[in-house]
Amino acid sequence: MNFIKMQGLGNDFIVTHDVKEKDISRIQNQFVTLCDRRKGIGADGIVFVLESSLCDFKMKIFNSDGSEAEMCGNGIRCFAIYVNLLDLNSSPKLTIETLAGKITTEVVGNNRVTVNMGVPVLDADKIPVADTGHITMKPLVIDNKEFAITCVSMGNPHAVIYADDLTDELVLGYGPKIEKNSYFPKKTNVEFIKVLSNKELQMRVWERGCGETQACGTGACASVVSGIINTLHEKSVTVHLPGGNLAISWGGEVTDPVMMTGPAEVVFEGRVRVD
């Protein structure tokens, strides 16, 4: 399998168009090893560039634990740069079929991509959350510690939590417990947010199926939606992540799409045997 190792703000992926969709299940048992940083290529996930009858392309993405994700903001930026780099499509604009619906991207220069991430989902049963209505600053108790969570889906579930300090104890200690809490039927990504100003957030993320990563595009989008709902900042925000910055904006209405702009880069190219 030919591949290009790519990264978006340190969130890294094995990207390939060398595998047909019908063959993915046959090699899926190798995904954990391929993503292993000591025994394989090393990555947070694997992105497949596939043919689509509905859009220009179809994206399937798998986490480093082998589970399939509905959507990935950093991964889809890598997807767009990959297609552009290999001249798989002549246009800088793409429509991409994902499990989260149709996503549109545009390469805007200097390895930067603007993504229309679609409209956020706030209804509990659609996120999904084991609750009803909108989950806004809802108390959730984990190991006798109470968190106020706001839940948003950007095609995949997110629980946003605000804190004065984004410590390892908070992210690494509570992140995995919140991810797997029964309140979230399909588990959840967990974003820990410090509001720096009306236009800036600091974020660390515990990703479902990956653990802590350097960045999460859908998580950054969900966090900005949460902040706007809770009137914590303006509608266009810079999100500072360990791997770098994302520009996120949302109009504030349920019919408004969330827009994300950020980088994606090639790390190296390679070839690996898959049986």
Active site residues: 72, 216
- Amino acid letter for position 159: A
**Strand pairing report for 189-197 and 157-162:** parallel
Pair of tokens at residue 43: 């990555």
**Helix axis angle, 73-85 to 217-229, nearest 10°:** 130
At residue 255, the 3 state secondary structure works out as: coil
Pair of tokens at residue 162: 């605000």
DSSP-derived secondary structure for 62-105: EETTSPEES--HHHHHHHHHHHHHTTSSS-SEEEEEETTEEEEE
- Amino acid letter for position 147: F
